[in-house]
Amino acid sequence: MKKETATLGGGCFWCLEAVYKRVKGVEKVVSGYSGGESKNPTYKEVCSGISGHAEVIQVTYDADIVSFGDLLDIFWKIHDPTSLNRQGADTGTQYRSVIFYHDEAQKEAASRAISELSGTLPQPVVTELSPLAAFYPAEAYHQDYYDTNPNEGYCRLVIDPKIEKFESAFSPLLKTD
């Protein structure tokens, strides 16, 4: 087993977490915050925009089963990398599109993926590419949000379509258990 970690932000972390928990080879997904200056930020501080952090997920995965490139392919499909500081109705820098790389290999792979994607979209890709400085897990009530609140309005209207898009486009990467 080749355990690796990826940290991605593409709108609300509930959305990303719900999708990535369904990816074959993913062991754990933690919702949290990264990219700001404050230490141990709260959800309220992140939502206010004063912390500078983005809502992100940290994915622990088996690279022998799913590659970082596969994770990026999913990332591009389930959010809009051309939308600056927003995804749908969620607006603010905390919802920015961002890849926090853990090493040079991730940096190179993400940079290459951004370049390749840029040539295929009508708008410029605005996804930030930055080294991971710190990751702060979000409060307990944000973890596994979709799985514990599947009938909540946001889950049905926003997250369900993202899961459906993932399942349709990436069926070979879907967990079967």
DSSP for 58-96, written as a single string: EEEEETTTS-HHHHHHHHHHHS-TTSTTEETTEESGGG-
- Burial of 123 per CB tally in 10 Å (0-12, 13-18, 19+): exposed
- pLDDT computed for residue 1 by the predictor: 86
d(CA 111, CA 95): 20
pLDDT at residue 131 tops 80: yes
pLDDT at residue 51 tops 80: yes
47 belongs to the catalytic site: no
| Residue of 12, 15, 47, 155 marked catalytic | 12
CB 132 within 8 A of CB 7: yes
**pLDDT above 90 coverage of the chain, percent:** 98
- pLDDT computed for residue 173 by the predictor: 96
Residues 79, 4, 104, 102: is their CA dihedral positive or negative?
Answer: positive
**pLDDT above 70 coverage of the chain, percent:** 100
12 versus 1: the higher-pLDDT residue is 12
What average pLDDT does the chain have?
96
- pLDDT computed for residue 119 by the predictor: 86
Against a cut of 0.95, is the pTM above it? yes
- For 59-64, what is the mean pLDDT? 98
pLDDT at residue 177 tops 80: no
pLDDT in tens, 137-169: 999 999 999 999 999 999 999 999 999 999 999
pLDDT at residue 61 tops 80: yes
* Domains of the chain and any CATH numbers: 3-173 (3.30.1060.10)
CB 2 within 8 A of CB 64: yes
pLDDT in tens, 71-119: 999 999 999 999 999 999 999 999 999 999 999 999 999 999 999 999 8
pLDDT at residue 2 tops 90: yes
